[in-house]
Amino acid sequence: MGWIDTPLTDEGIQNAASSAAKLKGIKFDKIISSDLGRAFTTAYLISRTLSYSAEIERHKELREVSYGDIANMPYSAYPELSPAENANYAPPNGESLSQMQQRATECIANISAANPDKTILIVAHDGTINAVKAGFSKQNIGSVDAAHSPHDFVAKFTVSGGTITSFTEI
């Protein structure tokens, strides 16, 4: 979907419940989500399950990749690219996976720097998750993005000095 602000589906609501169940018992100092409605609604549903009552922050930089002019087009509109080529392909008026990765990881580094020693839940998108995975594993974002994460994917990661130093799926 990219930057198209679609509502959360019934399946998305089920995925939010599954994610919340994986997070039971963790006390979050802050919850931050992408500013797109489907991510914010997911964060809201999780927050209620976890009895979190503070405001949920929204960050535009945590958005999925922008598909520009080919957003909401059939997959056939997207060019056939190798994972390495896909990392740097930017559709007209959109951004590349590498650009999205840079944007998202800078945002996460800034969140970490502003919240030392805090436990923060970040609710975002498949591409954002892949950006974090690729950054930690030092893999090409195009290769990591080719393997989609389930929509109830939950991982714990640590940021130190602006760098992701650990990453573990929960």
Using one digit for the tens of pLDDT, what is the confidence trace for 85-130?
999 999 999 999 999 999 999 999 999 999 999 999 999 999 999 9
* Cβ-proximal residues to 99 (8 Å cutoff; 6+ apart), any chain: 65, 90
Buried b (16+ CB within 10 A) or exposed e, 39-70: bbbbbbbbbeebebeeebbbbebbbbbbbeeb
Write down the pLDDT at residue 63.
97
- Nearest CA-CA partner of 23 in 52, 59, 66: 52
Q: Which amino acid is at 51?
A: S
Write down the pLDDT at residue 118.
96
Average pLDDT for residues 132-160, to the nearest whole number?
Answer: 92
Query: Does pLDDT of 132 surpass 80?
Result: yes
Residue located via tokens 């959109």: 94
Q: What CATH class has 10-169? A: alpha beta
Write down the pLDDT at residue 149.
84
| This prediction's pTM | 0.93
